[in-house]
């Protein structure tokens, strides 16, 4: 690129502008034969598939505003920088789980990365009733490895502090989470919307001071609990799968936060897939059983991997070997992570029905009466997770709670 000034790519300008990059030519072939397709279905960025004689690649470019809303809502291009930094760390901490980065251009806010194919977005698969072998194992391990290896349990103290300082600058993306997940759902905010038939339930939730307080306590954990580098946006739209392989994309919301944050968000999205199933098929039972097995097995994989890392890789300032901590310390730490995960899970279940960005699991249900009934179960369970999560000791209790609300 001759000029370093940022300019958004189009399918027409992309071959001219990126056609000189070795990272692309060596994979895709010469730019003369490129076919470019814009496929971004997310809320924020441009995503292009570049195809040629060789392998295809993805070019993801940030826009200076929120794509979902338009240029009335500016958003800094630096999110591409944080996405790139997070991808590099995740690749080191859980090798093979995120797309390989082929090229990064800070000024153009663009990342060239491996094209995942024939992977598709997990959310769509779950709505279609498709299962993914190994999903729970892969995701539980991803959450455990990134949580542990980015924390003071593992990192050298100076390195961890420098990294936390770097990511502290991801202010605008954290602001989205702070507003849309922890705040807007619990009041009447301009960007909110909900299924009309939900009005009485929404009113009762917003009148419940205990819920509001619990959500603010979770927000304080989010802003002040800088335990590890979190993915920050780990929903089923940030996971791409084949029938047997699971990959994680889109960590532009990366921030230093609680070790239970990503796990809690992920569990919420599995639970919303569970609650919405009756609208997507006549006999939802088997898929629902499978989704709850994904919930429990994800937690089991998380715990097993975390315990393994605790035993084998504890090299940071926390719980040093010379203090001789045993199983009780690990159990205490796991209980702390679980408590956070449940609270974040509750907030995520609420915001997807009440705040700005909803999810296709519920949004594609055209019968609004039915949609409201299913969303109501989800909202009620989220409320319990916020105010009474002490009564949910483990993943089986969480799955049981989902069954009671279904």
Which residues of this protein are in contact with ligand ADP, per CB under 6 A?
Answer: 39-45, 47, 58, 60, 99, 113-116, 121, 249-250, 252
Picking from 403, 377, 382, 401, the residue whose alpha carbon sits closest to that of residue 198 is 377
Which of the listed partners (Mg ion, ligand ADP, none) does 358 bind, with a CB threshold of 5 to 8 Å by partner kind?
Answer: Mg ion
For residue 116, the partner it binds in Mg ion, ligand ADP, none, with Cβ less than 5 to 8 A by kind, is ligand ADP
CA 257 to chain centre: 13
Minimum gap (Å) between residue 8 Cβ and Mg ion? 16
Compute CA distances 106 → 42, 58, 59, 85, 282, whole Å: 21, 16, 13, 11, 49
Total residues contacting Mg ion (rule CB under 5 A)? 6
What is the nearest approach in angstroms of ligand ADP to the Cβ of residue 83? 8
Binding mask 29-48 for Mg ion (x = CB under 5 A): -------------x-x----
CA distances from 380 to 10, 187, 275, 387 (A): 44, 16, 11, 11
Nearer residue to ligand ADP within complex by CB, 266 or 386: 266
Between 155 and 230, CB nearer to Mg ion: 230
From the list 158, 168, 166, the residue with the least C-alpha distance to 257 is: 168
Cβ-based nearer residue to ligand ADP, 48 or 186: 48
Nearer residue to ligand ADP within complex by CB, 47 or 347: 47
Question: Which residues, listed in sequence order, are joined to residue 150 by a DSSP beta bridge?
Answer: none
Q: Is 125 left (phi over 0), alpha (psi -120 to 50) or beta?
A: alpha
Residue 215: contacted member of Mg ion, ligand ADP, none (CB under 5 to 8 Å, by partner type)? none
Q: Partners of 229 in the beta sheet? A: 256
Question: Minimal distance in Å, beta carbon 130 to ligand ADP?
Answer: 16
Show the binding pattern over residues 233-272: x = contacts Mg ion (CB under 5 A), - = does not.
-----------------x-x--------------------
DSSP string, 103-165: EEETTTTEEEEEPP-S-EEHHHHHHTT---TTHHHHHHHHHHHHHHHTSTTTS-HHHHHHHHH
Contact 223, 178 (CB under 8 A): yes
Q: Is the peptide bond before 117 cis (omega within 30 degrees of 0)?
A: no
* Nearer CB in complex with ligand ADP: 101/304: 101
Site for Mg ion in 148-177 (CB under 5 A): none
Contact between 67 and Mg ion per CB under 5 A = no
| Contact indicator for 302, 148 with CB cutoff of 8 Å | no
Contact mark string toward Mg ion, 353..382, x via CB under 5 A: -----x----x-------------------
Our CB check for ligand ADP shows the closer of 233 and 303 to be 233
Q: Where along the sequence are the contacts to Mg ion (CB under 5 A)?
A: 42, 44, 250, 252, 358, 363
């Amino acid at each position: 690129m001759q000029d370093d000034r940022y300019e958004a790519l189009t399918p027409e300008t992309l071959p001219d502008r990126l056609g000189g990059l070795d990272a692309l030519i060596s994979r895709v072939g010469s730019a003369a034969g490129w076919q470019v397709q814009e496929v971004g279905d997310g809320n924020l960025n441009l995503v292009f598939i570049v195809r040629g004689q060789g392998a295809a690649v993805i070019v993801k470019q940030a826009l200076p505003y929120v794509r979902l809303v338009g240029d009335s809502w500016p958003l800094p291009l630096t999110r591409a920088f944080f996405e790139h930094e997070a991808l590099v760390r995740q690749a080191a901490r859980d090798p093979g789980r995120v797309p390989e980065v082929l090229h990064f251009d800070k000024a153009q806010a663009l990342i060239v990365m491996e094209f995942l194919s024939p992977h598709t977005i997990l959310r769509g698969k779950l709505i279609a009733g498709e299962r993914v072998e190994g999903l729970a194992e892969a995701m539980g391990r991803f959450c455990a490895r990134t949580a542990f290896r980015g924390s003071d349990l593992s990192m050298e103290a100076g390195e961890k502090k420098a990294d936390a300082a770097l990511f502290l600058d991801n202010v605008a993306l954290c602001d989205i989470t702070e507003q849309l997940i922890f705040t807007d759902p619990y009041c009447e905010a301009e960007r909110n919307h909900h299924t009309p038939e939900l009005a009485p339930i929404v009113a009762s939730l917003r009148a419940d001071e205990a819920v509001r307080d619990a959500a603010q306590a979770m927000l304080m954990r989010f802003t002040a609990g800088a335990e590890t580098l979190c993915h920050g946006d780990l929903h089923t739209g940030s996971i791409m799968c084949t029938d047997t392989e699971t990959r994680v994309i889109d960590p532009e919301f990366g921030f230093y936060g609680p070790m239970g944050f990503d796990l809690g968000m992920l569990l919420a999205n599995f639970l919303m897939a569970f609650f919405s199933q009756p609208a997507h098929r006549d006999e939802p039972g088997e898929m629902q059983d499978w989704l709850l097995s994904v919930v429990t097995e994800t937690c089991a994989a998380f715990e097993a991997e975390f315990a393994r890392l605790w035993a084998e890789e504890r090299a940071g300032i926390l719980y040093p070997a010379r203090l001789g901590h045993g199983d009780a310390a690990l159990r205490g730490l796991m209980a702390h992570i679980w408590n956070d995960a449940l609270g974040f899970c509750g907030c995520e279940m609420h915001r997807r029905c009440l705040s700005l960005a909803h999810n296709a699991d519920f949004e594609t249900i055209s019968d609004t009466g039915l949609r409201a009934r299913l969303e109501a179960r989800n909202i009620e369970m989220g409320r319990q997770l916020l105010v009474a999560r002490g009564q949910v000791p483990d993943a089986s209790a969480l799955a049981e709670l989902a069954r009671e609300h279904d």
